[in-house]
């Protein structure tokens, strides 16, 4: 990546070190033993502990919610907790992935199997990070498919005894060194003032990470590449940052913020793309009403592509620290209703990406970045 960027003639390309967690999945399996023998598709969740080589064999308690789990806590001791929380939104359902292991352990559960965080499934488990809490026993956690979660729920509703064996070789190896990748076109007039575009380079160890977040990384690189090849040099510096360690909790961007937060007054805007690069619809913006008016004028250039909408509230875990510092922020608004069909699954491959849609996303990214970098004044705070 660094060599490719240098060949494109950008002014500065370098890595900035950051420590990230190293978690290794290893071999894993889930097997239904009673009432019949059947392999269950599963994916361990990031940071989960593993099991002994023989695994954990236990009866299953199926619940639909955390409330039901705690109402039935007397039944949970020594059991594998299966969460069959029906998808309503990513923000709601992801809480079961994040906290399912802790909630299970608090009532004496020995492992947690969580229905995948997706509205659509073709027998596809979806992984992601989960979190432990100090003082609560760490139990293994994995996601299973929508189909299997519903099957186990039907069995439980009939009063059937369910026994499952879970084996996981997962191990946490502590923090290791990685890096954010930073590329720049130096500003001609105000080189210390920055328009930052970004996506994250890391992905889960399943699929190809093409959508999450290869697309966001690509359009951020392509924005600078296109502006350079057009022979343009705006007044302010254009900076692309490809973050590391986002999936484990924005490790790379947090380190970058710690190293550069004294430059907050020089950041004209920070932009992140991490919710797909499907057909662009417009731009999400966080900032003053006056600044939003300026961005709205810029977005008129995207009217021929039906991508000129401007909504409130930029989205992105890698830029939220800057937004809290009152730096204006932006994120891509796109037609991403299929995003969670593929998110964190083996289905996140290049087949999901449409070259024309990605080109349009890169165009929007480049237009907004260049115009804000070329203005005579910074965006009003």
Q: Would you name the residues annotated as active-site residues?
A: 246
Residue 278 near residue 216 (C-beta atoms within 8 A) = no
Look at residues 101, 102, 131 and name the one whose alpha carbon lies nearest to residue 114: 101
CA distance 164 to 345: 23
Strands 309-312 and 236-243: unpaired
Longest CA span, the chain: 73
Look at residues 233, 270, 228, 331 and name the one whose alpha carbon lies nearest to residue 4: 228
CA distance 329 to 267: 10
CA distance 7 to 5: 5
Relative orientation angle of helices 215-229 and 355-374, to the nearest 10 degrees: 60
Positive or negative CA dihedral for 263, 264, 269, 270? positive
CA distance 368 to 379: 12
Residue 239 near residue 195 (C-beta atoms within 8 A) = yes
CA distance 345 to 173: 23
Cβ atoms within 10 Å of 368's Cβ, excluding its own: 24
């Amino acid at each position: 990546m660094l060599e490719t960027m240098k060949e494109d003639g950008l002014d500065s390309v370098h890595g900035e070190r950051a420590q990230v967690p190293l978690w290794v999945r290893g071999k894993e399996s889930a097997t239904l033993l009673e009432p019949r023998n059947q392999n269950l598709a599963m994916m361990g969740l990031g940071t989960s502990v593993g099991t002994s080589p023989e695994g954990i064999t236990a009866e299953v308690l199926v619940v639909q919610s955390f409330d039901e789990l705690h109402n039935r806590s007397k039944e949970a001791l020594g059991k594998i907790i299966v969460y069959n929380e029906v998808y309503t939104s990513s923000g709601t359902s992801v809480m079961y992935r994040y906290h399912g292991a802790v909630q299970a352990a608090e009532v004496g559960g020995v492992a947690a199997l969580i229905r995948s965080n997706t509205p659509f499934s073709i027998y596809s488990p979806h992984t992601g990070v989960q979190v432990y809490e100090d003082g609560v026993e760490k139990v293994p956690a994995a996601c299973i498919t929508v189909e299997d979660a519903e099957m186990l729920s039907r069995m439980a509703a009939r009063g059937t005894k369910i026994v499952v064996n879970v084996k996981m070789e997962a191990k946490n190896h502590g923090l290791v060194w990685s890096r954010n990748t930073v590329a720049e076109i130096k500003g001609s007039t105000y080189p210390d003032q920055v328009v930052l575009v970004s996506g994250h380079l890391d992905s889960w160890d399943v699929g190809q990470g093409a959508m999450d977040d290869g697309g966001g990384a690509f359009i951020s690189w392509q924005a600078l590449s296109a502006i350079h090849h057009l022979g343009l040099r705006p007044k302010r510096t254009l900076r692309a940052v490809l973050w590391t360690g986002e999936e484990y909790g924005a490790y790379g961007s947090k380190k970058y913020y710690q190293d550069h937060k004294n430059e907050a007054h020089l950041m004209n805007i920070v932009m992140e793309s991490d919710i797909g690069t499907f057909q662009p619809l417009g731009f999400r913006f966080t900032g003053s009403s006056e600044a939003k008016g300026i961005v709205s004028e810029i977005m008129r250039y995207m009217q021929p592509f039906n991508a000129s909408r401007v909504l409130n509230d930029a989205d992105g875990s890698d830029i939220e620290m800057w937004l809290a510092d009152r730096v204006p922020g932006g994120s891509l608004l796109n037609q991403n209703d299929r995003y969670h069909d593929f998110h964190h699954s083996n289905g996140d491959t290049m087949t999901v990406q449409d070259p024309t849609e990605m080109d349009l996303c890169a165009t929007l990214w480049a237009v907004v970045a260049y115009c804000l970098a070329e203005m005579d004044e910074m965006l009003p705070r």
